[in-house]
Chains A and B, each alone.
Chain A
Amino acid sequence: MTSGLPLLSSSDPPPLKLNKSAGSFGCLCRDASFTSSTLDDKQSNLTSEEGDSSPSDIFPDKPLAQAYRPALKKQFYSADLRYHQRFPLECPTPGRKRQVAWGSMDLPRSNNSSFSPFEISRASSVGQNKKSERVRHKSSQFEENLFQEENPRLIYIDDPRKTNENYEFSDNEIRTSRYTIITFLPKNLFIQFHRVAYLYFLAIAALNQLPPLAVFGRTVSLFPLLFVLSVTAVKDGYEDWRRHRSDRKENNREALVRQGGQFHLKRWKNIQAGEVVKICSDETLPCDMVLLRTSDPSGLAYIQTMNLDGESNLKTRYARQETASDEFEGCAISGVITCEQPNRNIYEFTANMDFNGHKFSLSQSNIVLRGCQLKNTEWVIGVVVYTGQETKAMLNSAASPSKRSKLESYMNRETMWLSIFLFIMCVVVALGMGLWLVRHKYQLDTLPFYRKRYFTVGKKEGKTYKYYGIPMETFFSFLSSIIVFQIMIPISLYITMELVRIGQSYFMIGDNHMYDSSSGSRFQCRSLNINEDLGQIRYIFSDKTGTLTENKMEFRKASVCGKSYGSSLPWLETSITERSTGTQRWKLKSEIAVDPELMKLLHKEVIEGERLCAHEFFLTLAACNTVIPILQDDTVSIDYQGESPDEQALVAAASAYGYTLFERTSGHIVVDVNGETLRLDVLGLHEFDSVRKRMSVVIRFPNNAVKVLVKGADTSMFSVISKDTERGDHIWEETQKHLVEYSSEGLRTLVVAARDLTVAELELWQIRYEDASTSLTDRAAKLRQTAALIECNLNLLGATAIEDKLQDGVPETIESLRQAGIKVWVLTGDKQETAISIGLSCKLLTTDMQQIIINGNSEIECRNLLVGAKNKYLVKSLSRRNEDFGRGNNSENGYHEVSLRTKSSQMPQWTVFKEEAKPNVPLALIIDGNSLVYILEKDLELELFELATSCSVVLCCRVAPLQKAGIVDLIKSRTDDMTLAIGDGANDVSMIQMADVGVGICGQEGRQAVMASDFAMGQFRFLKRLLLVHGHWNYQRIGYLVLYNFYRNAVFVLMLFWYILYTAFSTTSALTDWSSVFYSVIYTSVPTVIVGIWDKDLSDKTLLRYPKLYGAGHRHEAYNLRLFWITMIDTLWQSLVLFYIPLFIYSESSIDIWSMGSLWTISVVVLVNIHLAMDVQRWVSITHIAVWGSIVITYACMVVLDSIPVFPNYWTIFRLAKSPSYWLTILLIIVVALLPRFLFKVVRQAFWPSDIQVAREAEILKKFPDRMVSKENQTST
């Protein structure tokens, strides 16, 4: 695997697209060293003829726009030409490219939406197409939003017929249902028979239909299959009916659609692409539409995208000024929209519109998507571009890939063993049958109990009856024994497990301790297959922002003009009062503490350097963003809505300092500066993107001065800041110092800069900007080039520091998880200093840890660092590593018992136990994304793996989404250990899907992570309970459930097997057909399900108190091969007891076959239920009902079956129940069968108690000393 760009030019992706995107990327050097002077020349040649376009032309409130149409058009057509000229210039050296490539993935979290497009379009494939595919994805990541020019979609506005003439676009009817009444049965059966288990059922049932084999009655043999099929069919049918209902409801909603010049109501399902639709406030959008006009004269509309990405804040969408002024009522409209084919990317939209002779571009901000709601806007009018299944909402509604639990794969291995047993038993029966036939070859004609020949008069006389020769008979015997022994393969186990997991999920969801009251979100189980994996997690890969931290930003500090403010904590009340006495007239939703010193500086009358600097600083904070101020009714309090929490925090901070942003349209913003209203025209806005990592606005002040205001990440900003003056140098140094200081405190930093634009610069930029923003191809890249024109030689204003608060309980959770033997790795997009500081604050890193920092810029450098670290810390081989790891645990073991905090005092203790003198310091590996590029792509993976696994903490910073998945894969592919990934953002999707268990946090960053996850919850700290409590329970339960089910079926089958040895190998079953079928369906199924759901070995309090009990899952204590064999030996013994005790007691008696069968049936049912009862650890009323109820139901069934005179077993149970020896036999069977098991259990508990056993005793006998304490407290209060 190699990094993005080199691959792009060498591997398989379609060459045409590839070149373009590569080209466009080539020029994206992220620092000012690329000023593209050559490019500029060419550009100016091309554009000079267009003359000096006034910047205001872009904004349609000046009516001049029309005049520049020709020029704009020309530019548009010349795009290709320019593109080719540019291309050769834009191929940097490979090394350069690589850095650029990975740099681009190195995303600060403040603007997730800028990279989530990729995530959404690629995420689903990451999980499915394994490693080999990843190479391609890594590279294709850069083909950001390829525009499929070959096949654009043409939408004729208000002309649906023409629109749909050439291409049959789908109508707006949505269908989430799978079946119709006609297709239900075949399709549902077809889907159901995809399961191997059902095919097995079917094959067995089919075998039983063959005349020579009819072991069971034909209808009886179909019963289990029909039962399972019909239950599933009813379930599927019901679900589908509900989907039908909701679809119908959705499809029959009505919207105003322009028909014949007027807006009339039309059902959603009849809306076609090209139609013009009017939506009123608070209505839901029926399809994806391009905005034409809104109730706001400037074309502004607010939408809530809750249904789409889960974000509750309002987003702005604009109608283009060209269309916003048009009247849509009555008169004719004509226009064409050329847009891309439907895709899943909800953050991108590229199209062009030709409207009344105007030609202009459309972007994501001009489209509103199905499922969103219109808010704060009276109405909007838009033209439908994507409908029905082609809407982005529908395209995004794919389910996450299903995962399979590890225990289940082990289970399949044991199922193989059971198949082998089954095979052996069938072979024994078949061979026995063959030998018996050979021995009695000459008697078969007349043998009273065989008689193969007809001796009755008639045409059949002399013919053989059901006899096909000895070899065939042997073979048939084999097949029929498969039928008799079929439940040896515990098919019902799969159904049982599903039921149990549903039950477990129900209780996990219902757990009040995992209910996040702040967001009102319950725990969610999105995947039902991997509950038990939660009990065996060894590695946790955690995202930082939004997962460990709250992602609620608070403005903390500022460095203005080389001076740091806000460090004088605590924030005094006085500052707030001072503010209220001042000119403040805006009320914010959140209170922000203000540094009085900075406040004072701002209110100085004298306009000198520092004051100006501070002024510009806050002006930038107020202006350079995409935040929407929403005025409440009283027009005093403001709610800032924005896509980035950082920006919200900054705008709020600016407001606190007297720079209140209170109005924003597409053309201007209005800022209240200490009571003075300042209207600023926004000439252009370069949004934040992941390559530049900064955003800029071009602002025209009322005095016609034009400024570019920029804010961005420090790495990207310092390269575009001029530092020619001495003063600049000084500020530069000071600011950098402050930045280091801030980030070491775990604050997120942004650098703010600005500069005046000269008229020439402005003109050049305006033309380029206009061109770029109407471009259909590589718009993003062109905008980036344009931005590079003005984002240079900036004056440094200062830096901001925002605190990203840790979530509740994060340090405690991490501590517990580590005690439980789980390694927590943090993978973050933040920079190294921030990552380390967060690591320290959440107790992931401790000061006594030896930090190994891998920070290489080339493969060799990385290798050297890795090897050096390995040599230094004596990590040599895998075997060593394990030792090391064990030791690491011990250190934790030691201090846990004494106290939670006295780690260092325990250090010497464990060094004593080791003869080798090893560095007795836990290691922490800190590695950055750049190094990971080289390591993950090369053969250094192994080195990293060895080093990383020997460290107790691993912190990866500056990692790109796919690298996160790569790191997870690094562990997943090299060990058997279970991995869990937890994250909240779209950038965690790939990691979540890659890990064995993916957990999504329902945070502020949308629902992408939740949608992709297996489990979702509100807070990181719930992870502790999820793993230590529910994971443990689920694992113990499922582990026992599987073993018990193996036992339950095997004991029954073995009992049948022994009997067959006494029937001349003729596969007779003494049990009635119905009893055989009911055994696993009715007689014994319920208790296993109940125990699988309700049994608890330990209470949640004990489990949380002793996190180390989680180690039971790591050691595979509940389910392993050894346990399987022990269970099988026990099964063998029990089956022998079951069979031979009645045999001895009733040998040489007049007992008939059905009485014997009845005795066996009852015995086996009672036995397996008491066996279960013996292992139940916690008897709740439901358990009692299930276990004893099963036995009662079995008797009831027997009574019913024996009351039907047509059955040969008529009246059996009544006769039996009268004889005392019947009851004595059952009692004897139960005691003898369970005696060894009981003995084993008792001996084991007496001499080799497991941790769980000891903890359980302590819990039940209430031996926890601190428990007593808490009780006393309780009574006293």
Chain B
Amino acid sequence: MAARGETSSAGGNDAAQDPFPSAQKMSKRPKSKQLGFQFTQQELPACKPILTPGWVITAFILVGVVFIPIGLASLLASKRVVEIVDRYDEDCIPQSFKNKTLSYIQDDKTNKTCTRSLVVPKQMKSPIYVYYQLSNFYQNHRRYVKSRSDEQLRSKDGERKTNTCEPEAFAGDKGPIVPCGLIAWSLFNDTYKFSVNDTVLDVNKNNIAWDSDRKHKFGSDVYPKNFQSGGLIGGATLDSSIPLSEQEDLIVWMRTAALPTFRKLYGKIEVDLEVNKTITVTIQNNYNTYDFGGKKHLVLSTASWIGGKNDFLGVAYLAVGGICLFLAIAFILVYVLVPRPLGDPSYLSWNRNPAGR
């Protein structure tokens, strides 16, 4: 950002002018010694940037010129993304349970199946990402974030390293809980089934987690144990015959979200969806967000090079680019109308205002 003035070869030039005798001698000495001299005398060759009008205007124009195309491109990309968001947590409560949502969701016996119809507003090219979105769920709460044991997840040897997992560490005498901790315990357990015109849309749930997590963080020899065995069931149960490294829902869930409203990848639909098609979603509404007022959304979205649908990046780039161009013009005017000769000694305070300081 800072404009550069000319690079002065401060060393040789200034030293020659120097009254100090050794400075003159220096120029004849070998280069390494001269460098040492320049170093100790703080005369190393230096670039001394100053904000000349030219540099200021160039800087503004440069920012404007770079930012506006980027802004346009990202805005365009964002506009191209097709996104279907459906909040279902309220609508999936049967009428009879409207006032007692908690007893509905906590009761094992109630039927939690719920069917939703979604209309595709625009053609959606595959892959279509299926997300669930939770709101008001503080996955970033300090008690929650820390309630896991990475060593336990990683290998069988770390099974008993559960001290960070309280209060979901041990299942009484039965030994440690695998995977322990609140994060695993509260694993999301709603399920979705999609169909278009009664043909079932396959949801690919493979490779929804990070490769690195599957390969290195979650051990292939670690199997769930004593999971959800306590008096309070937090969420999904895990098949104890499948190693953690293949429990991708868990792996996704365990990458805790940064913000209280977050999306997590549920799966991918690998067929294109045509415009105005109606998708029927059969939801098993198991997950309890009702006691803390959390919202649940189902999100179907395509992706672009900037990620999901988000206009902010593009708008911000356009705005900043515009402002900089405007400033460039403003400064051109300023320098034309009220020029100040650079380095004019008459602007020094003692010259400008001789009557006092």
Contact = CB atoms under 8 A, between A and B. Distances in A.
Interface of A: 215, 440, 443, 446-461, 465-466, 507, 510-513, 886-887, 889-890, 893-894, 896-897, 909-910, 913, 1062-1064, 1066-1068, 1070, 1094, 1096, 1099, 1101, 1106, 1108, 1111, 1115, 1141, 1143-1157, 1170, 1173-1174, 1176-1182, 1205-1208, 1210-1211, 1214-1215, 1219-1221, 1224-1225, 1228, 1231-1232, 1234-1235, 1238-1239, 1241-1242, 1245-1247, 1249-1251, 1254-1261, 1263, 1270-1271, 1274
Contact of B148 (A447, A1205, A1208): A1208
Contact of B41 (A460, A511, A1070): A511
Given A455-B232, A457-B171, A1154-B255, 20 more contacts: A447-B291, A454-B230, A457-B229, A457-B231, A465-B166, A466-B143, A466-B166, A886-B356, A1099-B14, A1115-B357, A1147-B261, A1148-B261, A1151-B257, A1156-B258, A1210-B213, A1211-B213, A1231-B67, A1247-B338, A1254-B343, A1258-B344
Contacts of B23: 512
Interface in B43-72: 44-51, 53, 56, 59, 63, 67, 70
Contact of B1 (A1062, A1155, A1174, A1247): A1174
Contacts of A1231: 63, 67, 320
Contact of A1260 (B50, B166, B186, B261): B50
Interface in B135-156: 137-145, 148, 150-151, 154
B49 A1179 contact: yes
Given A449-B138, A450-B144, A1066-B138, A1260 B8 contact: yes
A461 B231 CA distance: 9
Nearest to A509: B40
Interface range for B: 35 or more
Given A1148-B263, A1181-B44, A1254-B347, A455 B231 contact: yes
Interface stretch (B93-101, B119-127, B238-246, B302-310): B302-310
Interface in B234-257: 234-235, 255-257
A1150 B259 CA distance: 9
B68 to A, nearest CB: 13
A1251 B141 contact: no
A1111 B356 CA distance: 13
22 contacts: A215-B142, A454-B167, A456-B177, A466-B143, A893-B354, A913-B356, A1064-B138, A1070-B140, A1149-B308, A1151-B257, A1151-B259, A1156-B259, A1179-B47, A1210-B213, A1215-B212, A1232-B316, A1232-B320, A1238-B59, A1246-B334, A1251-B349, A1254-B344, A1259-B343
A447 B182 CA distance: 10
Nearest to A480: B142
Contacts of B40: 507, 510-512
Contact of A447 (B53, B151, B292): B292
Contacts of A454: 167, 230
Nearest to B212: A1211
Nearest to A1250: B349
| Nearest 5 Cβ contacts at the A-B interface | A1258-B343, A458-B172, A1257-B343, A1211-B212, A448-B186
Contacts of A1148: 133, 261-263, 308, 310
B357 A886 contact: yes
A1068 B140 contact: yes
Given A1150-B263, A1177-B48, A1205-B154, A1224 B74 contact: yes
Contact of A456 (B22, B139, B168, B257): B168
Contact of B167 (A453, A511, A1211): A453
A1149 B1 contact: no
B88 interface: no
B216 A1255 contact: no
Most buried by B among A511, A1221, A1271: A1221
A1220 B306 contact: yes
A1173 B2 CA distance: 8
B317 interface: yes
B287 to A, nearest CB: 9
A753 B139 CA distance: 100
Contacts of B258: 1070, 1146, 1151-1153, 1155-1157
B138 A1141 contact: no
B230 A1221 contact: no
Contacts of B110: none
Interface string B290-305: 0110000000000001
Nearest to A1256: B50
Nearest to A1184: B47
A1210 B217 contact: yes
Contacts of A1242: 51, 56, 331
B17 interface: yes
B327 interface: yes
Contact of A450 (B141, B256, B257, B324): B141
Nearest to A1229: B316
A1178 B53 CA distance: 19
B345 interface: yes
A1231 to B, nearest CB: 6
Contact of B305 (A450, A1150, A1220): A1220
A894 B167 CA distance: 80
Given A456-B168, A1231-B63, A1238 B1 contact: yes
A1255 B348 contact: yes
Nearest to B305: A1220
B154 A890 contact: no
B182 A451 contact: yes
B142 A1066 contact: yes
Given A1063-B138, A1170-B1, A893 B171 contact: no
B48 A1211 contact: no
A1242 B235 CA distance: 58
Contact of A449 (B5, B47, B137, B210): B137
B16, B258, B261 pick with most chain A CB within 10 angstroms: B258
Interface in B1-29: 1-2, 5-6, 8, 10, 14, 16-17, 20, 22-23
B235 A448 contact: yes
Contact of B50 (A461, A1180, A1257): A1257
A1153 B256 contact: yes
Given A910-B354, A1063-B138, A1147 B259 contact: yes
A1259 B56 CA distance: 19
Contacts of B154: 1205-1206
Contacts of B225: none
Contact of B143 (A1066, A1101, A1235, A1261): A1066
A1271 B258 CA distance: 63
B316 A1153 contact: no
Contacts of B20: 512-513
A448 B320 contact: no
B351 to A, nearest CB: 6
A862 B151 CA distance: 86
A440 B294 CA distance: 13
A459 B335 CA distance: 79
A1062 B142 CA distance: 11
A1150 B131 contact: yes
A456 B340 contact: no
Given A1224-B317, A1228-B316, A1260-B8, A448 B42 contact: no
Given A1215-B210, A1220-B306, A1241-B51, A1152 B257 contact: yes
A450 B354 contact: no
Contacts of A896: 350
Nearest to A894: B354
B306 A449 contact: no
A219 to B, nearest CB: 14
A1136 to B, nearest CB: 14
Nearest to A1106: B348
Contacts of A1094: 42, 44
Contacts of A890: 354-356
B198 interface: no
